[in-house]
Structure 1
Amino acid sequence: MAYAQVNGVRLWYESHGAGRPLVLLHGGFGAVENFETMLPALTARRRVVGVDLQAHGRTADVDRPLRYETMADDVAALVVHLSLAEVDLLGYSLGGGVALRTAIQHRHLVRRLVVVSAPCRRQGWYPEVLAAMAEQDAAYGERMRGTPPHQRYERMAPRPGDWPALWAKTGELLRREYDWSAEVAALTTPTLLVFADADSVRAAHMVEFFGLLGGGHRDAGWDGVGRPAARLAVLPGLTHYDILDSPALPAAVLPFLTHPAGPPT
């Protein structure tokens, strides 16, 4: 457990287990601890490197906006700093967007990509989710004092008083339009998309996202020769808010990280 100075950010990371590195990126207002339920299953087979992104967990904020692209650059710089070479990368929600941008911007560093409960364009969220995102600001953060995310932040953050500023910066990020469809379509990194069947991401967008990666266009055939390199998992009985705590998530992720990608040869 340590800090790495990258891109002007003192980035907190922690490493567990041994083997090929798997980097984990948490969701908004979260920290590495968001993955504690699935960590034992992952560390049994992999070296897991958890990262607290800019302004989250034990990583203090810096004088720059929150952007998926710059946080992706931070993750890439950490991978190089730790001499990890080619990593597998798993991101959830906000971290899913950062993981996707890392694979797009630094594809030579990412062997396999897992995006959990995150869209590839802003309109992939349900309208009511977008409406809630639009309300996030410093005042909303003040109303969230005493909640479990705030309690965790107070316990970990180098400057606990930055809590309202985190909400202001996050709200500004979430109100920005983005559409990475063209870049996703050009992505060659083997990718697994994982969603809950009652996610905050629209079901139609899950299929759209998978299609951009080459999935869902044809029957794979009896021998599986038409199977795409991308994978799609929709986990039943779960939501955007409890998917990380389900044993179904590592059960879906680990085979993808272990087995050969693409159709059988």
Structure 2
Amino acid sequence: MSYAEVNGLNQYYEEHGDAPVTAEHPAMVLLHGGLGGGDMFGPILPALSARRRVITVDLQGHSHTADVDRPIRLETCADDIAALIRHLGLGRADIVGYSFGGGVALRCAIQHLDVVRKLVVVSFPFRRDGFYADVLKQQEQMAPEAAPFMKQTPMGELYERTAPRPEDFGTLIGKMGDLLRIPFDYSEEIRELEIPTELVFADADTYSLQHVSDFWALLGGGRQDGGWDGSGRPGPHRLAVLPNTTHYNVFESPALVTAVDAFLDA
């Protein structure tokens, strides 16, 4: 359990597993979802760290990492992660991010290719309109006034238990609401990604399967028969749709461990 000063942020991280970090077996940097923290991966951390070093990070304003005087944006959080990887001397790490953390992982790969070996994006859209309409409506209503109700949720309980300033929960909700209402479309940058990338979604996710298919197509997937020898596959990229999961439990599914391990070991 440690803190690192990166970009004016006192960022909290934990290291799990005792496997040596090498170029062939890099560390995994694991990024949580919105309003969460590294603790949310507790059910699968032992399996993920059984054969590799895993570093969980609490992003700006989340859990153990106190907020600073700047908006929460995927781009700046991605800069923080790249700075942390350099601070820890990890070389090129494998980055796995879920939901909000998936967006940060994606932006880190786009903005800081030199610190990323492989990328796993779990349950995050490439464009804002990938969310179902009712989810977009909920995002429009996300504001500090929701804090008293959100305190009763697992995210609120985690924040109350771990945050340096629990009274900042409303501020975090407001900043995350501001982030969620910003239109984005990363299509062109994703088409240019050269590092091996795996997309992981729940079979009952918060995005349509059409959006999942469109995301996969940006990486060259779903355009032709893969062929007997696999020569028609989209290079090193992979797509995994996990059965019997939703956006709200895919991050702790044993099937996620299987999908991630197979991809990173390939």
Q: Which range, TM-score by smaller chain?
A: over 0.9
Instruction: State how far apart, in whole Å, the 2-side matches of 1:59 and 1:76 are.
Output: 16
1:172-211 equivalences under 5 Å are: 172-211=178-217
After TM superposition, give the deviation of residue 241 of structure 1 in Å. Answer: 0.4
Aligned residue for 2:227, secondary structure, equals coil
Structure 1 residue ranges without an equivalent (≥5):
260-265
After TM superposition, give the deviation of residue 201 of structure 1 in Å. Answer: 1.6
Q: What is the aligned-residue RMSD (CA, Å)?
A: 0.8
Corresponding position of 2:5 = 5
Instruction: State how far apart, in whole Å, the 2-side matches of 1:74 and 1:58 are.
Output: 15
Instruction: State how far apart, in whole Å, the 1-side matches of 2:98 and 2:208 are.
Output: 16
Q: Is 1:112–1:189's contact at 8 Å kept on the other side of the alignment?
A: yes
1:10-159 equivalences under 5 Å are: 10-17=10-17, 18-19=19-20, 20-159=26-165
CA deviations 1:90-130 (Å, max 9, x no partner) are: 00000000000000000111100000000111111111111
CA deviations 1:211-249 (Å, max 9, x no partner) are: 101111111111111211211101111100011221111
After TM superposition, give the deviation of residue 143 of structure 1 in Å. Answer: 2.0
After TM superposition, give the deviation of residue 37 of structure 1 in Å. Answer: 1.1
Corresponding position of 1:263 = none
After TM superposition, give the deviation of residue 5 of structure 1 in Å. Answer: 0.2
After TM superposition, give the deviation of residue 51 of structure 1 in Å. Answer: 0.2
Q: Aligned AA for 2:228?
A: W
Structure 2 residue ranges without an equivalent (≥5):
21-25
Normalised to the residue count of structure 1, the TM-score between the two structures is 0.96
Instruction: State how far apart, in whole Å, the 1-side matches of 2:120 and 2:133 are.
Output: 25
Instruction: State how far apart, in whole Å, the 2-side matches of 1:180 and 1:148 are.
Output: 30
Q: Aligned AA for 1:105?
A: Q
CA deviations 1:58-96 (Å, max 9, x no partner) are: 000000000000000000000000000000000000000
Residue 166 of structure 1, aligned match among 142, 155, 172: 172
Residue 253 of structure 2, aligned match among 235, 240, 246: 246
CA deviations 1:136-181 (Å, max 9, x no partner) are: 0000122212322111111100111000000100000000000010
Q: Percent identity?
A: 55
Q: Aligned AA for 1:58?
A: H
Worse overlay, 162-171 or 226-235: 226-235
Q: Is 1:31–1:56's contact at 8 Å kept on the other side of the alignment?
A: yes
Number of aligned pairs?
Answer: 259
